[in-house]
Structure 1
Amino acid sequence: MKKLILLFAGLCQASLFAFADADKPSAPVVAPGTVSAGGAAIVWDKPDNYSNITRYHVLLNGKDIAVTSRCNYRFTGLKPSASYTCAVKAESKGGKLSAAGTTAKFSTLQQGKTLNVVNFGAKGDDATLNTKAIQKAIDECPAGGTVLIPAGTFLSGALYLKSHMTLEVAKGGVLKGSTHEADYLPFYNNRFEGWEMKTYASLINAGVMNHNGGYAVEQLSIRGEGTIRGGGTPLAKEMIDKAGLRGRGRLFCLMNCKDVELQGLNIENSPCWTIHYIYSKGVTCHDLNIVSTAHNGDGLDPDSSDDSYIFNCTFSTGDDCIAIKSGKNPEGYTIGKPTRNVRITDCDFVKGHGISIGSEMSGGVSGVLVRDCKAGPLLHGMQIKGTKDRGGYVKDVTVMDCALQQITIFSAVNYNNDGAAAPVLPTFENFTFKNIDLTGASGKEPAIDINGFKDPQHKLKDAVFGGIKLADNAKVSVKDAENVSFSDVKTVNGGKPVYDVKDSEKVLN
């Protein structure tokens, strides 16, 4: 009997620990590139059982210092050259706190020197071209230092950043790109629309492209409460006239960079894609407001890069808000550098074509999480796109706890498909869509539109849809797919949507 009682007690204790673990948020992760002399940003995942969770308590060195409804937090006002531990507790609707998750540790950096560009001859009069003065400040910035753009409008051409520095645009400050193409010469090697090529430089440049690996720039921060504004359509027209559509620079182009932070800024008026990073690792973009009306005016393009953290950002763009890429057709497939581990959370997508994976995905894309995001009337909603010529793969994509207006998977986009095909067909597989509000869908097109590839060996496969809310009379289209399941997928009145299933196997609804 005593043995039975002890066994029962042990089982109860194990189940209690299991329940507690399920209620705890994950250990926080210090977002790459965000540690400075005075702060750092952390992210974490919700508990396994999160339906009753209302907010989170952030602990620093064991003290409860803040509460937040989001799964991220930015520490400010910390001491330089100091060590800290942090953890997170979850709070339920009844006010009960979970145990803290595992702690994370970080050490702030030394306080570096600040170089005001005005002291190098720059003038914030919206007329003087300050490229040389600002670049001189960058070149002379010591390790750990900051180049400051103060209040005023500072006109500039292409700038080239380096490792272990911060470019800060102060409140009331504007770093404004020139509208003249000559201010972005000479041409340099980068990648655009999936191909490596020479183009104009961007306003903000860092690194040197090398698909064989290595990092040219490390520990770079671009931040502030001010604005970085590109040359927009006038600049784009000049670049197109001289070098064609694919000759344009971007607003930001980061190549072979590691541990980079973009934080706090208003970013607007790009001549092309807004923020593009290639062959990089550990790029964190947070608390940004990105506005673009340009042709091909993507907001943010992670390209053959690992470990992206994108949170608390607002997008209003003339093309894809985010487009996750990895090269195009035979070149992208042969280089074979995938984009992996992209975390997109707590973002607001106001206007644009989509929250997109592709269309250039020939090097592969995997490990994408989109969570706690809200999207307005985007042209294609949350979309995964490519063509049969791409090669490569898109797999292990999870979209959860979002308000969207459409989910689309395209296998035959009608643009950017010139050039030879990759030697194999692409693979689309292992997608999870859970707890999605699609009640704002227009109803003109399917709210969920899945199109795989015709080849029997390359049909879209292993997709799970659960806890999806749809508008009345909503439609779901499934074509050329295998092993797709729909559970708890209902309209606002509790009915089932209209399913249109063609050339597919093992579709459960």
Structure 2
Amino acid sequence: MKIISKISFSLSFLIILFALVFGACKNTKKEPITINNFSAADEIIKSIQVPTFPDTNFNIMSFGAIADGETNNSEAIKKAIEACFNAGGGKVIIPSGTFLTGPIHLKSNVNLHLEEGSIVLFSTNKEDYLPAVHTSYEGQELMNYSPLIYAYRQKNIAVTGKGIFNGQASNTNWWPWCGKEEFGYIANTPRQADEHNLPRLWEMSENNTPVSERVFADGYQLRPSFFEPFECENILLQGVTFTNAPFWVIHPIKSNYIRVDGVTVKSHGPNNDGCDPEYSKNIHINNCTFDTGDDCIAIKSGRNNDGRRVNIPSENIVIENCDMKDGHGGVVIGSEISAGVRNVYVRNCKMDSPELERAIRIKTNTLRGGFVENVFVKNIHVGQVKEAVLKINTYYGTYANQEGSFIPSIKNIHLEDIIVENGGEFGVLIKGRPENPVKNVTLTNVHIEGAKTPLSIENSEPVVFKNTTINGKEY
């Protein structure tokens, strides 16, 4: 009897223990999943090795460059890069002075270095950017005008120094193609929205037309980006200034291990995003200043069918110690987002301008779909924004007919230790989809003042507030 009693007791104990453990596990699953561990950001930074180069210099003056701001130095710069590459790598030096050039194509193991006082002016002659190269426009691959600084399938490349790259884009060249009068567009002249431009590219994308057959450039009106490493690895961009860009400024695409350090972007043209990593991973953006005509930083992963075809998420991105001034958003994810974005860390940044519209922004729709997950924002000081501190919009649409069948997934968005002096129209603005609401958004130690509407939230799981106030009211 004693043995049976002991067995019964043991079985009862095991059953109770199992129930407790199972119940605890079950309850745990209901809790928001938070992996807010900035040590992961530190590991990402450690994984990005700074490119090194042989201690050999190739001054473009030795290859016939003339610093008069009028002579086209394309050939001299090309020869210097070729010589550096053929010698096994080193530094191509652009000295103090003003140098006009066409597009610059980088090669492996080459550090293009601008000495203090150097100004590189890029030609406004469209023919200088031919022949067309493999590039991308608003998240769709094509053959188009060469980016102003371009590297294709290269390794160990750098652009460094204290000089200025001036794209010379203005209301008299490049910019009018956006179709807006404020940027010089004249009615009934060609623009990017014309049927032979973007609509043609969209159709090719939907039909999976090979990229080699998507030929645009000469006779078309799709602007080139400024600095674009395409399918490259181990990239350093350090110290330089970009201004007057035709289109997106810093656009690494399908690239890995990227460090953007101490760079200044001051460019207020149309679609002048500061830095747009796309289909790229392991990226550190540090100590930069963005004063832009569009988003300061916009993380992307392809548009619509083309993004789903490529299917490379952008991931493992650390943004810190940056100063965001004018722009549509400080740190933005989307709207070209079809392949998804994950693991984004933003810390120790300042965002402040009467012309900065949002601090943190996520934008997509059901044509673009995609996913955004694991976004961590910590220790941000926001002076003022126009619209919202945090905006998540799954109904984004610049063009007509933006409804499709690809329901976005947005989850695990965490803001912590944020001070906002003037929150604009909204503190938090979320427009999710009823088919798949936004999930697991938390605000911890967030204090927002001056928001006209504290919260506007649709189709989202309840936002979790911890020690958070908006206009002095605790949530």
TM-score (norm 2): 0.77
User: Residue by residue, what CA displacement relative to the aligned partner does 1:452-502 show, whole Å, maximum 9, x if unpaired?
Assistant: 1132xx110111111111115651221110142111111464x33xxxxxx
Instruction: State the partner residue of 1:176.
Output: 121
CA contact (8 A) 2:366 2:403 kept: no
**AA matched with 2:313:** P
CA drift at 1:239: 6.7
1:244 is aligned to 2:192:
yes
1:235 is aligned to 2:173:
yes
CA drift at 1:121: 0.5
User: How do 1:215-294 residues align onto structure 2 when only pairs under 5 Å count?
Assistant: 216-233=153-170, 234-237=172-175, 244=192, 247-294=222-269
Q: Work out the CA distance in 2 between the residues paired with 1:322 and 1:416.
A: 21
Larger displacement relative to structure 2 (244-253 or 260-269): 244-253
User: How do 1:293-304 residues align onto structure 2 when only pairs under 5 Å count?
Assistant: 293-304=268-279
1:454 is aligned to 2:437:
no
Q: Work out the CA distance in 1 between the residues paired with 2:412 and 2:43.
A: 26
Secondary structure of 2:407 counterpart: coil
User: How do 1:406-445 residues align onto structure 2 when only pairs under 5 Å count?
Assistant: 406-416=389-399, 421=404, 424-442=406-424, 445=425
CA contact (8 A) 1:265 1:289 kept: yes
Q: Work out the CA distance in 1 between the residues paired with 2:276 and 2:44.
A: 25
Q: Work out the CA distance in 2 between the residues paired with 1:131 and 1:196.
A: 26
Q: Work out the CA distance in 1 between the residues paired with 2:121 and 2:150.
A: 14
CA contact (8 A) 1:329 1:362 kept: yes
Cα 1:126/1:192, change in 2 over 3 Å: same
Cα 1:29/1:369, change in 2 over 3 Å: closer
CA drift at 1:206: 0.2
1:333 is aligned to 2:284:
no
The structure 2 residue matched to 1:195, chosen from 98, 119, 140, is: 140
Cα 1:417/1:321, change in 2 over 3 Å: farther
**AA matched with 2:144:** T
CA contact (8 A) 2:47 2:282 kept: no
Larger displacement relative to structure 2 (218-227 or 193-202): 193-202
CA drift at 1:151: 0.5
Instruction: State the partner residue of 1:63.
Output: none
- Name the structure where helix makes up a greater proportion of residues: 2
Instruction: State the partner residue of 1:361.
Output: 337
Instruction: State the partner residue of 1:87.
Output: none
- Number of residue pairs the alignment of both structures matches: 388
CA contact (8 A) 1:388 1:453 kept: no
Instruction: State the partner residue of 2:320.
Output: 345
1:140 is aligned to 2:110:
no
CA contact (8 A) 2:365 2:402 kept: no
* Structure 1 segments unaligned to the other structure (5+ residues): 1-21, 37-108, 208-215, 497-508
CA drift at 1:152: 0.4
Instruction: State the partner residue of 1:370.
Output: 346
Q: Work out the CA distance in 2 between the residues paired with 1:337 and 1:418.
A: 25
1:118 is aligned to 2:61:
yes
Cα 1:113/1:322, change in 2 over 3 Å: same
Larger displacement relative to structure 2 (377-386 or 271-280): 377-386
CA drift at 1:32: 2.8
CA contact (8 A) 1:202 1:253 kept: yes
Larger displacement relative to structure 2 (113-122 or 477-486): 477-486
Instruction: State the partner residue of 1:72.
Output: none
Instruction: State the partner residue of 1:499.
Output: none
User: How do 1:30-69 residues align onto structure 2 when only pairs under 5 Å count?
Assistant: 30=46, 32-36=48-52
User: Residue by residue, what CA displacement relative to the aligned partner does 1:400-446 show, whole Å, maximum 9, x if unpaired?
Assistant: 1101342111111221566884x53110111111111122223xx11
CA drift at 1:178: 0.8
Q: Work out the CA distance in 2 between the residues paired with 1:370 and 1:470.
A: 18
Q: Work out the CA distance in 2 between the residues paired with 1:159 and 1:473.
A: 46
Cα 1:388/1:29, change in 2 over 3 Å: closer
Cα 1:291/1:490, change in 2 over 3 Å: same
**AA matched with 1:34:** V
Q: Which has the higher contact order (CA 8 A, sep 6+)?
A: 2
Cα 1:26/1:453, change in 2 over 3 Å: closer
CA contact (8 A) 1:340 1:368 kept: yes
Q: Work out the CA distance in 2 between the residues paired with 1:484 and 1:180.
A: 52
CA contact (8 A) 2:268 2:292 kept: yes
Larger displacement relative to structure 2 (134-143 or 236-245): 236-245
Cα 1:120/1:317, change in 2 over 3 Å: same
- Percent identity (aligned): 32
**AA matched with 2:151:** A
Larger displacement relative to structure 2 (191-200 or 239-248): 239-248
CA contact (8 A) 2:138 2:303 kept: yes
Larger displacement relative to structure 2 (237-246 or 482-491): 237-246
Cα 1:27/1:206, change in 2 over 3 Å: closer
Instruction: State the partner residue of 2:12.
Output: none
Instruction: State the partner residue of 1:401.
Output: 379
Q: Work out the CA distance in 2 between the residues paired with 1:366 and 1:465.
A: 19
**AA matched with 2:260:** C
Instruction: State the partner residue of 1:71.
Output: none
Q: Work out the CA distance in 1 between the residues paired with 2:401 and 2:290.
A: 29
CA contact (8 A) 2:283 2:318 kept: yes
TM-score (norm 1): 0.72
Secondary structure of 1:135 counterpart: helix
Instruction: State the partner residue of 2:112.
Output: 167
Secondary structure of 2:146 counterpart: coil
Instruction: State the partner residue of 1:79.
Output: none
The structure 2 residue matched to 1:309, chosen from 284, 304, 309, is: 284
Cα 1:200/1:26, change in 2 over 3 Å: closer
CA contact (8 A) 2:51 2:235 kept: no
Secondary structure of 2:252 counterpart: strand
Cα 1:434/1:450, change in 2 over 3 Å: same
